[in-house]
Structure 1
Amino acid sequence: MPKQVDHEGRRRQIAEAVCLLADERGLEGVTLRDVADRAQVSMGAVQRCFRTKDEMLAFTLGHVGERITERVQARLRSSPAQSAGTALGYAATEVALLRPEHRTEARVWLAFVAQAAVSEPLAATLRANYAALQDLFTRLIAEASGPAEADEVRDADRAARALLALTDGLTAHVLIGHLTPAEAHAVLDAHLDALWRRPSR
């Protein structure tokens, strides 16, 4: 009987190998042969999963984005009684990748962000990831702000855009050593405090 291959599982296995190589060498150092070696599969297996290197990289970026989003959702599910404001703080902290155990993920994420500037397939995947996170931030800000009148919804969307941009910037600043994780947390906390103190219309 032929061996059954978990195609989606194999794709994720390859994506994890891409992440390890990207962390060590940057995306420019990722080759299909090295990915196959690191994933402990054949070149043919990689090529059956992905038609091109660009397709492999786009899948890997989506895989990383899903992992971050799933971690945020798990954090929110673990404390269902928390306020929307507290939930937003947890979510923003997860997205900023400030904890030491997320340093590898932060390096890989920023490598993809840099490559997306010259790769439309990666840029499209990145926009989808950001859109999902922005929607989550918008919902939590709207919930924390009270009844959702039209102006408040627009305010929530603008605030979510600003918060998402801030978390992304903090990832880079910590990674290059401009800020310590503690300093980045302080910046994030100050921003969230100011968000709840913003004047009402």
Structure 2
Amino acid sequence: MPKRVDRHERRTLIASALMRVAARQGLEAVSLRHVATEAGVSPGMVQHYFRTKDEMMAFAMTVVRERSQARVTDAIAGLGADPEPRLLLRAMIAALLPLSEESIADGRVALAFLAYAAVRPDVAAGMREDTEQLRAFVAGLVPGPRRDEHAAGVLALLEGLGVHLLGGHYTTGQALAALDAHLDLVFRPAVGGEAR
């Protein structure tokens, strides 16, 4: 009887190889041959599971998104039941920042994918939807009448800190201090007790 192959497992193996190549050498080094070599499979197997580089890239980003969501879920679970919004938001952002070996590799792929998607409107459309969902979630956590603006600022901070961490411009301590300072501003009560 032939061995049953888990299609998702094989695709994940190939996507993980793509991410390792991209994290080490950038997206320009991602090719069918390089990914096959990194995964330890034949180029034909890669073609069997992914017809195009775009399809392979999109699946790799799905894997990055799933890993990021798992890190966020774990971080939030560690807060216990019903955490305060500021604490919840800090845990979520810290879990998304490239602070661990795995999240640094994922961050490099995500950054490369942003550049890749910038010239591919169909790919960028899915990313816009993810960003809007995240912005809406953050807006639901921050206080005051300027929720959308604050949420956009928090997400911009996340992206900026991520780029600077990946580039080695900031240490983990500097990035988390900047995050805390920004959250202090967002959650600071205004004069009269109403949040800004």
For the criterion TM > 0.5, the same-fold answer is yes
Q: Comparing 94-103 with 52-61, which one deviates more in the overlay?
A: 94-103
1:99-134 CA-to-partner distances (Å, cap 9, x unmatched) read: 455322222221111222122343233223323432
2:5 is aligned to 5
Q: Output the CA distance in 1 between the equivalents of 2:129 and 2:14.
A: 21
**Displacement of 1:44 after TM fit?**
2.4
Q: State yes or no: 1:137 paired with 2:141.
A: no
Equivalent residues in 2 for 1:35-54 (5 A)? Answer: 35-54=35-54
Structure 1 residue corresponding to 2:169, chosen from 178, 181, 201: 178
Q: Output the CA distance in 2 between the equivalents of 1:193 and 1:61.
A: 32
Q: Output the CA distance in 2 between the equivalents of 1:116 and 1:85.
A: 31
1:149 is aligned to none
Instruction: Give the AA of the match of 1:76.
Output: I
Q: Output the CA distance in 2 between the equivalents of 1:131 and 1:103.
A: 23
TM-score by length of 1: 0.84
% of aligned pairs identical? Answer: 41
- 1:97–1:171 CA contact under 8 A, matched in 2: yes
Count how many residue pairs are aligned between Structure 1 and Structure 2: 191
Q: Over aligned residue pairs, what C-alpha RMSD do you find?
A: 2.1
TM-score by length of 2: 0.86
- 1:54–1:121 CA contact under 8 A, matched in 2: no
Q: 1:180 to 1:19 in 2, by over 3 A?
A: same
1:193 is aligned to 184
**Displacement of 1:98 after TM fit?**
3.2
Aligned residue for 1:127, secondary structure, equals helix
Name stretches of at least 5 consecutive residues in structure 2 with no aligned partner: none
Q: Output the CA distance in 2 between the equivalents of 1:117 and 1:127.
A: 11
